[in-house]
Amino acid sequence: MARVLVAMSGGVDSSVTCALLKERGFDVIGVTMQLLPCNYSRGCCSLSSIEDARKVAKILDIPHYVLNLKDVFRKKVINDFYTNYISGYTPNPCIRCNQYIKFGVLLHKAKELKCDYLATGHYAKIEYDRIRDKYLLKKGKDKNKDQSYFLYIMTQEILRATLFPLGDYTKLEVRNIAKKLKLHVANKRESQEVCFVEKGKYEEFFKEQFKYLPKIGDIVNSNSIVLGKHKGIINYTIGQRKGLGISSKKPLYVIGIDSYNNKVVVGFKEEVYKDRLFARDINLISIDSISKPMKVKVKIRYKSEESDASINAFNNRVVVKFDKPQWAITPGQSVVFYNNDEVIGGGIIDRVG
């Protein structure tokens, strides 16, 4: 009997993941990662979520453990988020968590426990292509819930040791399974925010955790003409229109953040559209390299539509040239490359234009 370690967040997705794997004959072990201090009362890391996971494990009659990963989570995810944010980037901590925590520390723990696999409740698919002798990461069945964007950091080794049982289900089907099993989390709402920041209050979080004090600076246009003052660069992101405090005959939008000179750059709507970006920290899943221009579909953020583009290697980076200009390409976010339903890879947007 194959043994699998399941990352249980206390939500419906990971709970049904456990149920499906047990039904398929796996020896299932549930583990909830404690990533935040005990006084956090929301999200997948709260004490109530740990208790929800424990109750589900009892109903399903599987062992359940809590793994304290607070220190490594702060070092690898929270500190990185802070460093990037105050440098003018807009990072995605969920991707960082997948890379270093779920498919890093937790996968290592699964191997220590002699587990054959690690499983999570992600809506994505893993397939093995015998002809290419490669494991492929593909989109999940539920196109509205597909989470392959967050998983482009996976490698062949990780894919070989990972299971995504929900890839062939829709969210509605998963909730219905939970209801049939009489799991109390069947209708539990899912968090859409960064788990360690309360209601997107980044400035308050940085002040509390890092003693950070935002510095007032200039708001300038693309010709470096000063138009006003900003309240700290962490309060602005590419494409932002509201809260600039500048009167103008035409609406102004944030088109750049210059952290070195502590400036926010604004422009008109047409200046927010860009047709090229450079990405760093590239991970390729199913191809070995990009030796020549390649036509792909590209997502520049989780909720964005896929766009046609070509990608090519450039000085240890990948340059992405879009067929049509894209709205608010944001440094720090991840850009992910697709070939139909297959995730080729991705990286971090470093600069635009």
Residue 348 sits in a domain whose CATH number is 2.40.30.10
List, for residues 274-296, the tens digit of each pLDDT value: 999 999 999 999 999 998 999 99
List, for residues 293-332, the tens digit of each pLDDT value: 999 999 999 999 999 999 999 888 999 999 999 999 999 9
Q: How confident is the model at residue 40 (pLDDT cuts 50, 70, 90)?
A: low
Q: 201: alpha, beta or left, given left = phi > 0 and alpha = psi -120 to 50?
A: beta
Regarding whether 301 and 281 lie in a shared domain, the answer is yes
Is the residue at 205 inside a domain? no
State the alpha helices, DSSP H only, in 222-264: none
Read off the pTM. Answer: 0.94
Whether 38 is catalytic is: no
Regarding whether 99 and 231 lie in a shared domain, the answer is no
Q: Is the pLDDT of residue 173 over 60?
A: yes
List, for residues 124-142, the tens digit of each pLDDT value: 999 999 999 999 999 999 9
Regarding whether 16 and 81 lie in a shared domain, the answer is yes
Is the residue at 79 inside a domain? yes
Regarding whether 52 and 180 lie in a shared domain, the answer is yes
Is the residue at 207 inside a domain? no
Regarding whether 320 and 249 lie in a shared domain, the answer is no
Q: How many Å apart are CA 251 and CA 248, to the nearest integer?
A: 6
Regarding whether 132 and 116 lie in a shared domain, the answer is yes
List, for residues 187-246, the tens digit of each pLDDT value: 998 876 788 888 778 899 999 999 999 999 999 999 999 999 999 999 999 999 999 999
Beta-carbon contacts of residue 281 (< 8 Å; ≥ 6 apart): 347, 348
Regarding whether 218 and 190 lie in a shared domain, the answer is no
Whether 97 is catalytic is: yes
Regarding whether 288 and 165 lie in a shared domain, the answer is no
- Which domain range does residue 48 map to? 3-199
Regarding whether 252 and 118 lie in a shared domain, the answer is no
Q: Is the pLDDT of residue 174 over 60?
A: yes
Last residue of a domain, one of 199, 222, 249: 199
Q: Which of 44, 45, 115, 195 is catalytic?
A: 195
Q: What is the CATH classification number for the domain harbouring 81?
A: 3.40.50.620
Find the Cα–Cα–Cα–Cα dihedral 280, 284, 289, 294, rounded to 10°: -80
Closest CA to 81 of 253, 249, 224, 209: 209
Is the residue at 209 inside a domain? no
Regarding whether 172 and 72 lie in a shared domain, the answer is yes
Regarding whether 224 and 189 lie in a shared domain, the answer is no
Residue-level pLDDT at 37: 76
Is the residue at 206 inside a domain? no
Beta strand 217-221 with 263-267 is: parallel
Complete DSSP assignment for 22-59 = HHTT-EEEEEEEE-S-TT--SGGGSHHHHHHHHHHHHH
Q: Which of 18, 44, 45, 97 is catalytic?
A: 97
Is the residue at 251 inside a domain? yes
